[in-house]
Amino acid sequence: MASEIAEVVGGQLVGDDVAVNGATIDSRSVSTGQLFVPIVAARDGHDFISAALDAGAPAYLTSAGAVDGAAGAAIIVDDTARALAALGAAARDRLPGRVVGVTGSVGKTSTKDLLAGLLATTFRTAASEKSFNNELGLPLTLVNAPDDTEAVVLEMGARGIGHIDLLCSIGKPTVGIITRVEGVHLELFGNIEAVARAKGELVEALPDDGIAVLNADHKHVAAMADRTSARVITFGLTPESDVHASAVVIDDELRASFRLHSPWGETDIRLAARGEHQVPNALAAVAAAGGLGVPLEKFAEGLLGAALSGLRMELVTSERGVTILNDAYNANPTSMSAALQSLAALAAGRRIAVLGTMAELGHDSAWQHEAIASQARELGIEVIAVGEPTYGADVRHVADVAAASAELSDLGAGDAVLVKGSRVAELERVAQALLN
């Protein structure tokens, strides 16, 4: 009820005490019964309160007073973002103890998706949508979790020291997964040691009876075992890991199969997720799911049936017979390298990578882009760089998506194209142009 929300967030209810079911910050995606939370950012969400009410929101938070003549109930607060965080924390307190936080420089979203698929074989499971992993997306995941939820998977991103700690104060995870620590977002963190400090805040927040799932193949992650009193389960590609894989095989569709070894037994696994780099993500998901009680016989089913977020290693073929590997959601040196290796593994006549910028690399940006271009040359891959000059002189440079699409007009059956860049590049439009 709106009155309960007002009490939780320390707000003042103006209007009827209406029933509320869930919340959203986007007036375009309101479901009937959802609370609308206007966020003040580049655009002021208060400007869209009327649209949200028209779409079916019965109530809204506001730091600008009630909207004159509006039919919905207003909950007046000092700061809508802080109120959303408080609402998320209250929602978390109503949930059971199976709450998993997932963080790391790369692989967060895929690991979250794979784990959600595993947990759903045994528990009623809620998980972060897409990459909703910040101080807005995480509380929304908690608020929108159905009342009968038995397990929750929360993706956690960080843009500085203290961010993960803040998210943990809202989500109170009992299990924490650290995928990898890489030189990503160095423009914000400064160095990889700072990245490790920030990501490790997750394991520090775990309770004594919790579980820390750590990548044994990465020294910065493995060292986090000393930062937690929780039980540690390791995963990795080396046999010394608690959860590891052997006999990894990649098929023509870039899907991995392997023999899984775990404290709960061994079984054969086949992934629907594409790319060999998904194997460690699957191992991390198994470690968390097994620790929470998902039985061995459910591992293969859960991993194969996991629903994956869009624009990540999507493989399609155009009417002209061009194979398109659309991995355009985001890019950093680690994920870019993995995507190039996947492209090289495809059977193709020509292999072309349409690459956008890798953002937030700080002082390392120029040489990191050059290194990716060098790797592409070694793999026999042509590169078309979109709006990023630091890929160097040995690649084709174009200014925008339209020009990149024009460069691909002569492709035909048997050719393969990778499309990848940081979110700001919006290179999924190149993949769509090839399909059209």
Task: Return binding residues.
Answer: 104-110
> What DSSP line would sit under 187-242, residue for residue?
HHHSSHHHHHHHHTHHHHTS-TT-EEEEETTSHHHHGGGGG-SSEEEEEESSTTSS
- Which residues partner with 177 through β-bridges? 102, 213
Within 10 A of 207 (CB to CB), how many other CB atoms are there? 14
Alpha carbon distance 10, 93 (integer Å): 17
Q: What is the DSSP letter of 70?
A: -
For helices 108-119 and 278-291, the axis angle rounded to 10 degrees is: 40
Site of tokens 């998506």: 401
Alpha carbon distance 242, 264 (integer Å): 10
Torsion, Cα of 294, 277, 229, 163 (10° steps) = -110
Distances (CA, A) of 40 to 44, 86, 250, 286: 4, 17, 46, 39
Q: H/E/C letters for each residue in 338-367?
A: HHHHHHHHCCCCCEEEEECCCCCCHHHHHH
Closest CA to 381 of 415, 340, 346, 413: 340
Say if residues 116 and 153 touch (Cβ distance below 8 Å).
yes
Distances (CA, A) of 243 to 171, 214, 215, 234, 284: 26, 10, 10, 6, 8
- Which residues partner with 190 through β-bridges? none
How many contiguous H segments (helices) and E segments (strands) does the chain have?
Answer: 16, 20
Q: What is the DSSP letter of 44?
A: B
Q: Which structure tokens are listed for 129?
A: 């949508």
Say if residues 137 and 65 touch (Cβ distance below 8 Å).
no
Binding residues for ATP: 104-110
Per DSSP, the three-state class of 334 is helix
Alpha carbon distance 71, 250 (integer Å): 57
Alpha carbon distance 189, 82 (integer Å): 24
